[in-house]
Amino acid sequence: MADATTPKTLSALPFACSEAFGEAPAQASRRADGTWPTVSFREMGTVVDELARGLIALGMVPGDRVAVLADTRPEWMQVAYAIAAGGGIIVPIYATNSPEECHWVLEDSGARIVVCEDAAQVAKVRGVADDLDALTHVLAIDPVPDEIDLAGLRSRGRQVPATERAARTDAVDAGDVAVIIYTSGTTGRPKGCVLTHDNLMSCARQTAELGIVTSEDSTYLFLPLAHVYAQTQNVTAHALGSCVSYASAGPAQVMQDLAEVRPTCFPSVPRIYEKVHAAFAGAPRTDAVLARVRGAFGGRIRVAISGAAPIAGEVLEFFHAAGVPVYEGYGLSESTAFGTVNLPDATRLGTIGRPMPFGEVRVADDGELQLRGPHVFAGYWRNPEATAASFTDDGWLRTGDIGEIDADGYVRITGRIKDIIITSGGKNIAPAVFENELRQSPFVSHVVMHGDRRPYPVALITLDQDQVGPWAREEGLPDDPAGLSEHPRLLERIQADVDAANAHLARVEQVKRFAVLPTDFSPETGELTVTLKLRRSVVESRYAHVLDALYATTDS
């Protein structure tokens, strides 16, 4: 692997890749006619250079924060690379954020420029910009009346000497801030995770050391680039010469995209794998069925990664048997999404793998997993108190996760410190065990165990309508979610699944009662983050009346 592909800074990466990989494809996106035209590494380098010079023309100086408010698409990374190349700091904002959430990120970061996707996102920013004193420019990726779009920005950039951009790029140090990632947050206001150029580029070096991705690979990316997981995957793929194809639409389009793109690498979250697993739940494990599973992912997957949340061993076994090797990994925004990973030649199902090269993991006396390595962040933006609280006295990152390390170095997560339920009887329960078991039911979408300072655990359950709907119609049951969620036949079926999950638990850990909710959780309604992590506090607050009713029922 040429040293030029893993330079010390993100600022230099697109130009190093242009030299190393030239006309090889770097980015692909879908057209309306179903084709996936590509942009070469050399073309991408030219675009990034002109965009960076355009930002300089608008007055961006080294250290300025520049926000990006857009869905996952090639231009997102082109803009991000350009910000870094000009010495700026990238501030991603989720496209799904409300105007108030956008205001918080822009205000807290002190962003001077924001690059929006389209007219709707521009309007969102304009509506809250009056008191954002630092904000001087609102740009657009797509053409928007009266706004500078990317074509206009590149045109302005061509008036700035190329030597100015090159000097800016060369002046960036590995320890400088590259990105401020605002955590999607399962509780409270998002905090800005400060990631340095070395944090990001160390991930590329770690992946290169493992040898699991090469320039012969192609990656399909649907995760939001505002999240560190997607950014790290994109940067790493490009550093290693791999083409990245970007989702054509939302999660509903992922499977069609995969069939068309036929990637070899697929970073994802458990929910995608779980839905495919559920779709084949009743099918025999014949060669023909397993071939259909492989075909659903395009037929060429070598490395599929599952991260951001736990995934059941049963699901992993299913995909390995089908020839779609899904490897579970682990990381946090605060560790640049890196930490541990299972590998093709070193996999232990039910674990999150072993530490990445140059990284370390330990278990503290209280059972907390703690990380150390070049991927661990510099701290929280303008929040020294939170930064101090996130590290131990000897410099290890506190993850908040409870786990264990076996004799071979494989790490297993058993719960989360903040999620531990302590019943009124003083019993400690990790809800993830029951929740992960029950989510293996094809009918179940999400599960929340509740029971802190209560006499026993109960659960809130949402349905997977893709699976429940056809079953309900076959059984002659109402197919409207509200009616179905209370139907005795459906509740009987869910009770059987709850009983099966309880069978794996000690009596004190077993769920005594449950309620099926009429609507599923989603990022749009606030119960999930954009990477589909559960916002437990939101659910418990929103459905407090349902939980209270479960305890109000007299125990028979």
Tokens of residue 127, six digits: 């509506």
* Helix (H), strand (E), coil (C) string for 432-490: HHHHHHHCCCCCEEEEEEECCCCCCCEEEEEECHHHHHHHHHHHCCCCCHHHHHCCHHH
**Structural domains of the chain ordered from first start:** 3-196 (3.40.50.12780), 269-417 (3.40.50.12780), 420-552 (3.30.300.30)
Q: What is the pLDDT of residue 3?
A: 39
Six-digit token string for 550: 């479960």
pLDDT-based confidence at residue 553 (cuts at 50, 70, 90): low
- Residue 1: per-residue pLDDT: 37
Going by pLDDT thresholds of 50, 70 and 90, the confidence category of residue 4 is: very low
Detail the DSSP E strand segments found in 240-331: 243-246, 265-268, 303-306, 326-331
Q: DSSP letter string over 194-213?
A: EEEHHHHHHHHHHHHHHT--
Half-sphere exposure of 416 (CA within 13 A, CB side): 13
The mean pLDDT value for 178-195 works out to: 83
Q: What is the mean pLDDT of residues 220-230?
A: 94
Segment 82-102, tens digit of pLDDT: 999 999 999 999 998 889 999
The answer to whether the CB of 224 falls within 8 A of the CB of 72 is: yes
Beta bridge partners of 194: 180, 379
Q: What is the mean pLDDT of the chain?
A: 93
Which pLDDT score, from 0 to 100, does residue 100 have?
A: 92
Residue type, 200: L
pLDDT digits (tens, 9 = 90+) for 137-165: 999 999 999 999 999 999 999 999 999 99
Query: Is residue 271 predicted with pLDDT exceeding 90?
Result: no
The string of pLDDT tens digits covering residues 399-440 is: 999 999 999 999 999 888 888 888 877 777 889 889 988 998
Give residue 524's pLDDT.
Answer: 87
Q: Can you give the pLDDT at residue 190?
A: 87
Strand order across the beta sheet in which 458-463 lies: 444-450, 458-463, 513-516
pLDDT (tens digit per residue) in 289-348:
999 999 999 999 999 999 888 888 889 999 999 999 999 999 999 999 999 999 999 999
* Burial grade of 488 (CB within 10 A; 0-12, 13-18, 19 or more): exposed
At residue 529, does pLDDT exceed 90? no
pTM, two decimals, is: 0.85
Q: Report the chain's C-alpha Rg in angstroms.
A: 24
- Residue 221 in this model has a pLDDT that exceeds 70: yes
- pLDDT tens digits, one per residue of 461-501: 999 988 898 999 988 988 788 889 899 999 999 999 999 99
Mean pLDDT of the region 197-215:
94
Residues whose CB is less than 8 angstroms from the CB of residue 337 and which lie 6 or more positions away in sequence, other chains included: 203, 228, 229, 231, 232, 233, 307, 331
Specify the pLDDT at position 187.
52
Predicted pLDDT at 150: 98
What is the pLDDT at residue 242?
96
The answer, yes or no, to whether residue 185 has pLDDT greater than 60, is: no
Quick one: angle between helices 270-279 and 465-475, nearest 10? 20
Q: Is the pLDDT of residue 556 over 70?
A: no
Residue 391: its pLDDT value, please?
A: 98
How far, in Å, CA of 97 to CA of 492, rounded? 39
Tokens of 95: 């496209």
- pLDDT tens digit string along 109-140? 999 999 999 999 999 999 999 999 999 999 99
**Token pair 């040293």: residue:** 3
Q: What is the pLDDT of residue 289?
A: 93
Q: pLDDT at position 32, please? A: 87
